[in-house]
């Protein structure tokens, strides 16, 4: 019987925040070098990466708990000290505690409460999904340092790629990143295909830059450039954690367009 994947829901996103924080924390032990640089976040060392993620969880938890109508000071984006006053185990415990606190607060609020969000939504559902995938990607960052294998359930990776495409295609992105208008032009289409998912997963994404906005759809269509790779590798590619030079990727067509697109749309 052909495998299928049910769409992730609010409860699933809440659970994944806790699960991913737990997986990341389980990689830390007394021998972990918190001063090691993070290759995929070159301004940070491991201690700063963990602090950033833990503070992001707590920042969102405050917004949801207080039903904030405007953003509190964004502690998750402040300059973090490179030195840590905590041991790896203390940071691991602090990270998992914050993730559980956030998930509990999200569940108590429900997906439809009215709150401030940085992009259109205005509900905890936005933050539950965003924090789930933020935690996934920063776990991937940590594995690059710690030498651990990074795997993620395909249902989660599919949802993460969909969310990435959705957020990157919002009209508001031009306000935040006006340089992305340079991506638009005739004939500019990109196709991404996950090679290791069952056919029912329909793991194809078509990025269409030929109109007035950045658009995407789940579709298998001819494109100026096509990229095929296992699903996890595709996820990490669009998040700037992989390079198309790596063996996992098969690229056919306009490689310059692909690299130009990747250079301008990265976030996270």
47 in a structural domain: yes
pLDDT of residue 42: 82
Exposure class string for 118-146: b at 16+ Cβ within 10 A, else e: eeeeebbbbbbbbbbbbbbbbbbbbbbbb
Residue 4 has pLDDT above 60, yes or no: no
pLDDT tens profile 201-247: 889 999 999 999 999 999 999 999 999 999 999 999 999 999 999 99
CATH number at residue 257: 3.30.1050.10
**Mean pLDDT over the full length of the chain:** 91
4 in a structural domain: no
Domains identified in the chain, total number: 2
Per DSSP, the three-state class of 212 is coil
Burial class (CB in 10 A: 0-12, 13-18, 19+), 105: buried
Q: Domain of 63? A: 10-150
Burial class (CB in 10 A: 0-12, 13-18, 19+), 193: middle
pLDDT tens profile 23-36: 999 999 989 999 99
Among 150, 169, 187, identify where a domain stops: 150
Bridge partners of 195?
none
As a whole number of angstroms, the distance between CA 122 and CA 20 comes to 24
Among 127, 150, 173, identify where a domain stops: 150
2 in a structural domain: no
1 in a structural domain: no
> Which letter does DSSP use for residue 72 in this model?
P
Place 2 in a pLDDT band, splitting at 50, 70 and 90: very low
Residue 75 has pLDDT above 60, yes or no: no
Query: β-strand 225-229 against 250-253: which pairing, if any?
Result: antiparallel
Cα distances from 110 to residues 12, 68, 220, in angstroms, run 13, 15, 36
Structure tokens given for 70: 């405007």
Q: Are 175 and 208 members of one domain?
A: yes
CA 233, distance to chain mean position in Å, is 13
* 202 or 81, which is more confident: 202
Residue 83 has pLDDT above 70, yes or no: no
As a whole number of angstroms, the distance between CA 23 and CA 137 comes to 12
Structure tokens given for 190: 């990109």
Q: Are 115 and 189 members of one domain?
A: no
Q: Are 94 and 198 members of one domain?
A: no
As a whole number of angstroms, the distance between CA 108 and CA 24 comes to 25
Q: Are 35 and 77 members of one domain?
A: yes
Q: Are 127 and 163 members of one domain?
A: no
| pTM to 2 decimal places | 0.93
Place 81 in a pLDDT band, splitting at 50, 70 and 90: low
26 in a structural domain: yes
Q: CA neighbours within 13 Å on the CB side: how many for 131?
A: 40
Q: Are 20 and 145 members of one domain?
A: yes
pLDDT tens profile 120-132: 889 999 999 999 9
Q: Are 145 and 174 members of one domain?
A: no
Q: Are 116 and 22 members of one domain?
A: yes
Angle 255-265/231-238 helices, nearest 10 degrees?
A: 60
Q: Are 131 and 79 members of one domain?
A: yes
CATH number at residue 84: 1.20.120
Q: Are 215 and 235 members of one domain?
A: yes
pLDDT of residue 10: 97
pLDDT of residue 78: 57
**DSSP-derived secondary structure for 25-54:** HHT--TT--TT-B-TTSTT-BHHHHHHHHH
106 in a structural domain: yes
Place 149 in a pLDDT band, splitting at 50, 70 and 90: confident
Above pLDDT 70, what percent of the chain? 94
Among 150, 176, 193, identify where a domain stops: 150
Q: Are 24 and 142 members of one domain?
A: yes
Q: Are 27 and 107 members of one domain?
A: yes
């Amino acid at each position: 019987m052909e495998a299928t994947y049910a769409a992730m829901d609010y409860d699933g996103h809440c659970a994944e925040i806790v699960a991913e924080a737990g997986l990341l924390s389980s990689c830390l032990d007394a021998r972990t070098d918190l001063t090691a640089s993070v290759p995929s976040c070159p301004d940070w060392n491991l201690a700063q990466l963990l602090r950033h993620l833990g503070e992001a969880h707590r920042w969102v938890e405050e917004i949801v708990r207080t039903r904030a109508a405007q953003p509190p000071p964004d502690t998750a984006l402040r300059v973090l000290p490179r030195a840590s006053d905590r041991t790896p185990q203390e940071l691991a415990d602090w990270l998992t505690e914050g993730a559980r606190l956030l998930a509990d607060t999200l569940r108590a609020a429900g997906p439809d409460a009215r709150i401030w969000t940085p992009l259109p939504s205005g509900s905890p559902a936005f933050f539950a999904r965003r924090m789930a995938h933020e935690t996934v990607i920063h776990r991937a960052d940590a594995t690059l340092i710690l030498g651990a294998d990074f795997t993620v359930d395909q249902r989660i990776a599919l949802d993460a790629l969909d969310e990435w495409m959705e957020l990157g295609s919002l009209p508001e992105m031009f306000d935040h990143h006006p340089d992305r208008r340079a991506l638009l032009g005739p004939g500019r289409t990109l196709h991404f295909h996950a090679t290791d998912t069952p056919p029912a997963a329909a793991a194809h994404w078509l990025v269409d830059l030929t109109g007035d906005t950045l658009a995407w759809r789940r579709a298998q269509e001819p494109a100026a450039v096509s990229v095929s790779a296992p699903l996890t590798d595709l996820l990490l590619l669009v998040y700037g954690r992989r390079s198309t030079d790596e063996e996992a990727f098969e690229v056919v067509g306009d490689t310059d367009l692909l690299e130009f697109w990747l250079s301008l749309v990265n976030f996270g």
